[in-house]
Amino acid sequence: MKEFKELISQNIRKFGMIIALVGIVLIFQILTSGILLTPLNITNIIMQNSYIIILAIGMVLVIITGEIDLSVGSVAAFIGAIAGTLMIRWNMPVIPSIIISLLVGALIGAWQGYWVAYVRVPAFIVTLAGMLLFRGLTMVVLSGRTLAPFPREFRFMSSSYMPDFFNGETYNITAIIIGILAIVLFVFNEFRLRKARKKFHQKGLSGPLFLTKVIVISVIIALFTERLAVYAGIPYILLILIALIAGYTFFMQKTIPGRHVYAVGGNEKAAQLSGVKSRKIKFWVYVNMGVLAALAGLIFAGRLNAATPQAGNLFELDAIAAAVIGGASLTGGIGTAIGAVIGALIMGVLNNGMSLLGVGIDWQQAIKGLVLLGAVTFDIINKKRNA
């Protein structure tokens, strides 16, 4: 018990987010008399928030380096417009269009990264300019009109499900199998990590607590899979998200450039004097953000089945809020991909739950604002107490 308490107090940053997410889910589950966790709605939450989650992953990297990107919403819209022009106006095939769109995203990231990293114009200004610039260009490209519809294959990525190879009846068997595989992988990985930790004489959880953790998370994965399997199965977008989360977590924790990202944000001068090329790191973090913003723009356009001038409005704020709720520090050096994802889910469940309850857009905005303030305050108070 004592260990449990200590664990909570030491990891409240990590646990706080998860507890908040679970709490919000439970509250809305009760308020909506069970609609929140219906198979259809769970699937919806994932699909509706996929692009914010993708942006949040890119944003957390930007924030860890101590910078900010206000332009991602406009960039997403601009890429939607480009994709629309390529596929709808010029009838270009889907795959080359996607590749070109992502490349344009990378170029935009390089453009902004250049000003921030090499010319040292404050990121706030560069990306504020970018926000106006790319919103304006979106309207120019679309001539103020909406382009629709996209080819069917393009929408595949954002709104289709993995087919059931086994023709299950109530359940999508493919989904179930993938869920089981995920659990096995997760459990295997946890035990492997634990063994490694033991070997390095690092402190980990005690036996029972470790088991509890593994079981709880496995059960959550199982329930989640069950919900998806009852509805239409696993959306392709979920696979993309999982790949991104796993990839970025690995990158940030286990690779040299990942470590450098944290060092640059934590203390740029010290990092530079240790031979870290801080400008190059910042530059590439913006390029990465550009590509992810492009991906988010494509997925959004696919879901909407249209390229519109208004796409991506306020996405930047949702992405920043998600990263910060997820524990990233705006002064740099601190944050995780998984945290940003959880932050995005918290915002997503809030949106979805309030919509289900019929709360108007006006109140939704206000409440989200308060949640953001509350989350960050909680974090700061908590930091002080541990000091």
Q: Which residues sit at the interface with other proteins, rule CB under 8 A? A: 6, 10, 196, 199-200, 202-203, 254-257, 259-260, 262-263, 266-267, 269-277, 333-334, 386
Q: How far is the CB of 308 from other proteins (least distance, A)?
A: 40
**Residue closer to other proteins, measured from CB, 33 or 202:** 202
DSSP H or E stretch at residue 155: helix 152-159
Long-range CB contacts (within 8 A, 24+) of 91-100: 94/151, 94/153, 94/154, 97/154, 98/154, 98/298
Q: How far is the CB of 335 from other proteins (least distance, A)?
A: 11
Residue 166, number of CB atoms within 10 A of its CB? 11
Q: How far is the CB of 302 from other proteins (least distance, A)?
A: 33
**Residue closer to other proteins, measured from CB, 256 or 370:** 256
Q: How far is the CB of 275 from other proteins (least distance, A)?
A: 4
> Rounded distance, CA 117 to CA 107, Å?
15
Please check whether residue 62 is in contact with residue 124, taking contact to mean a CB–CB distance below 8 angstroms. Answer: no
Q: How far is the CB of 333 from other proteins (least distance, A)?
A: 5
**Residue closer to other proteins, measured from CB, 152 or 192:** 192
Q: How far is the CB of 301 from other proteins (least distance, A)?
A: 33
For 232, the token pair is: 């239409």
> Rounded distance, CA 260 to CA 337, Å?
15
**Residue closer to other proteins, measured from CB, 267 or 305:** 267
**Residue closer to other proteins, measured from CB, 99 or 196:** 196
Backbone φ, ψ for residue 161 (5° rounding): -120, 155
**Residue closer to other proteins, measured from CB, 183 or 252:** 252
> Rounded distance, CA 135 to CA 131, Å?
6
Please check whether residue 159 is in contact with residue 47, taking contact to mean a CB–CB distance below 8 angstroms. Answer: yes
